[in-house]
Amino acid sequence: MQFRIVIKKWANFYFFIQNLSEWHFSNRKTYNHIWRKQLGSFSPEENNALAKFRKIRINYPESKSIFEHAFFTTNNPWPILQEKLPINEMNNLRNVFVIFKKKFEFIYKQDQPHLKSWKNNLKKRTDQKTLVGPITKILSVIYNTKPRRKQITIYLLLSSYLTTGGGVNINNKSISLEISRYPLSNIGNVLGVIWHEIIHLLFEKKHFIGLIRHHCPQIKDDTLNISEVTARLLFPAGILSHKFFATPLGGTGYIDTSNKKMKLLYRLITQYTEQTELKPLDETYLTHLIAIIMNNKK
């Protein structure tokens, strides 16, 4: 598996606008707080433009939407968007980018050098076959699938100093990584985030998601997202991240890090990931995981 690290200005401009609009619960409010503090108060025209963008974006809630395709994977997003969007939406969309151009340029000028530093550092670390090979082998076995995709594109985006994050909302061969202001000293955690997203992108869909739906039809994602918990037990604060990148073990988001039952979850996943005992995640794993977490909620 190979990695292509990309910095794209249009992708960052879109990320900046859509995050400021807060059209989705996943938008990073901490980023907005930092940017607004640097940029000062927004004018009524700017706030109105964001409101119009938010309304447009909500109309296309699907993952891997036309917006991600246009702004991330093409050099000029407007022709594709013009083919797909009504005239009034297209006009409002263009307008918000015109209105926020100066504000974006101000932020991007500061962050672009950091993005370039991250690109250089990640290129060196993601090319290490001594890491990529063993990690891919483990994930291929426990998720019972061999990824067909040989190259993954990683788009680097704006971020805050305190947090980083990733996503798989572009296409089936790319991930996004919010990283610009995140400290380079935390590269181990960033590599863990990359592999966490790769699990979602390449490994879990063919076998594991179907296993969950068949064995646990009563469990809904808004109650317990089993695939997400499992990925978190591995990366970026899980046992494989700890093993390969020396990152500290952390929580799953469903159980507090300090809770003693985290040890049970790590012990459970370790039964499947030990090099001498690699085996696919199965019904027994799901039964035990649900029992541990649901018992914790009582």
- Domain locations in the chain? 2-178, 207-297
Spell 239-275 as b/e; 16+ CB within 10 A means b: bbbbbbbebeebbbebbeeeeeebebbbebbeebbee
CA of 137: how far to CAs of 19, 141, 203, in Å? 36, 6, 11
What is the block-wise mean pLDDT of the chain (298 residues), using blocks of 10 residues? 96 98 94 96 98 97 92 97 97 98 98 98 90 94 88 97 92 96 95 96 93 85 80 94 91 62 91 88 95 71
CA of 141: how far to CAs of 28, 147, 276, in Å? 34, 11, 12
- Position 298 scores a pLDDT of 47
Strands 151-157, 174-178: pairing kind = parallel
The radius of gyration of the chain from alpha carbons, rounded to an integer in Å, stands at 20
- Position 104 scores a pLDDT of 99
Torsion of CA 156, 160, 166, 167, to 10 degrees: -90
Question: 3-state class of 70 per DSSP?
Answer: helix
Residue matched to tokens 């968007």? 81
CA of 284: how far to CAs of 30, 214, 215, 288, in Å? 39, 13, 10, 6
